[in-house]
Amino acid sequence: MKKLFVVPLALSAALAIADHKDGQPAEPQVLKGEVVALTLYLTEEMHGAEGATEALAALRGGSPAGLLAADGTVTLILVTSQEGGEALKYVAHNVEITGTIHEHGGMRAIVPKSVVDLGAVETKPVGGHEHK
Amino acid sequence: MKLRCVLCVGLAAMLAGLALMARAEDKKEEVTIKGEVVDMACWLEEGKMGPDHAKCAKGCVSGGTPAGIVTEDGSVYLVVVHGKDGKSPLSHVAEMVEVKGHVVERGGIKGIVATSCTKVEAKGEGSEGSHK
């Protein structure tokens, strides 16, 4: 009788290990940064409080969203019809996103599971490009 | 006095030339890439693409999932800005396309601002086309 439980358990463990080796992290990760409209950020480096209105319009118009970290790296925010849409509400805000990270072909993305608003991004100093 | 005038005119001409050179450098060259238009969620999360996944990909992109162009060498370009004249890569989800445009790269995200997009035959695809 015990074997009936042991075999499926061993199989599940083996499958979980194999899945982890495929590069699909099982544990959600946390990323912090500013939500930006990638259309504007990639083409014009527009972000922050000054570009908030345009960024919101761009996102509503279908622009992909990204998370701009303090070190300048950008992670694509993967929004599907089922999940992730909450992050878009916080454009030009600093947020903490908990989600699953996927990396393929040089592109890094996060599928948000939860988003915590850390407040609106402060106005950039004149001539500055600080990522706050 | 004449000498001063000549020097001033010469200096102004030199500055204008330098400004023109700087503007020319700002203009990025148009590139052409070939690849399949994919929905980033399914491609990044599960590597799904191709004709078998066309229906899902079209549904995802029309539902707001960002699109990308995966080239033969496996690199991916985020579709950043799209025209509304029917030439957009978003009109060719799950199809092989040739896209002309400007590559923009910031913070680890590589995107393409498409100026034109035409469907091309996939390798091994007949004239009827199977990417529908």
Q: Nearest-CA distance from A79 to chain B in Å?
A: 6
B65 and A68 within 8 Å at the Cβ level: the answer is: no
By CB atoms closer than 10 A (0-12, 13-18, 19+), residue B69 is: buried
Is residue A14's pLDDT more than 80? no
B87 pLDDT band, cuts 50/70/90, is low
State the nearest Cα–Cα gap between A9 and chain B, in angstroms.
25
Indicate the number of domains in chain B: 1
Q: Where are the domains of chain A?
A: 25-120
ipTM topping 0.85: no
pLDDT at position A75 is 97
Is pLDDT above 80 for A46? Answer: yes
| Res A20 pLDDT > 80 | no
- Mean pLDDT over residues A19-35, rounded? 71
Asked if pLDDT for residue A1 goes beyond 80, the answer is no
Contacts of A41 in chain B (CB under 8 A): 106-107
Residues of B within 8 A of A106 (CB-CB) are 75-76, 108, 110
Asked if residue B5 has pLDDT above 60, the reply is no
- pLDDT above 50 for B24: no
- Rg from Cα positions in chain B: 22
Q: What whole-number distance in Å separates Cα of residue A127 and Cα of residue B10?
A: 31
Under an 8 A CB cutoff, do B109 and A38 touch? yes
B83: containing domain: 31-119
Q: Which amino acid is at A34?
A: E
Is A71 in contact with A129 (CB distance < 8 Å)? no
B89 close contact with A: CB closer than 8 A: no
CATH number among 3.40.50, 2.40.50, 2.40.128, 1.10.3470, domain A25-120:
2.40.50
How far apart are the C-alpha atoms of B50 and B130, rounded to whole Å? 9
Q: Which pLDDT score is estimated for B94?
A: 94
What whole-number distance in Å separates Cα of residue A34 and Cα of residue A132?
7
pLDDT in tens, B36-60: 999 999 999 889 999 999 999 999 9
What is the pLDDT at residue A86? 78
Q: Do A62 and B47 touch (CB under 8 A)?
A: no
The verdict on residue B24 lying in a domain is no
Asked whether the predicted pLDDT for residue A25 surpasses 60, the reply is no
On whether any CB of chain A is under 8 Å from the CB of B72, the answer is: no
| Owner of token pair 């590559």 | B103
The pLDDT of B2-29, averaged and rounded, is 54
Which alpha helices (DSSP H) does chain B contain, by range? 2-26, 40-46, 54-62
Instruction: Determine, yes or no, domain membership for B10.
Output: no
B60 close contact with A: CB closer than 8 A: yes
B65 Cβ under 8 Å from any chain A Cβ: yes
Residue B128 has pLDDT above 60, yes or no: no
In three-state form (DSSP H/G/I as H, E/B as E, the rest C), the secondary structure along chain A is CHHHHHHHHHHHHHHHHHHHHCCCCCCCEEEEEEEEEHHHHHHHCCCCHHHHHHHHHHHHCCCCEEEECCCCCEEEECCCCCCCHHHHHHECEEEEEEEEEEEECCEEEEEEEEEEEEEECCCCCCCCCCCC
What percentage of chain A reaches a pLDDT higher than 70? 69
Q: Is B111 in contact with A76 (Cβ distance < 8 A)?
A: no
Residue A53 has pLDDT above 80, yes or no: yes
Q: Give the residue, B126 or A44, on which the prediction is more confident.
A: A44
Is B76 close to A104, i.e. CB distance below 8 A?
A: yes
Residues B62 and A66: their CA atoms lie apart, in Å, by 19
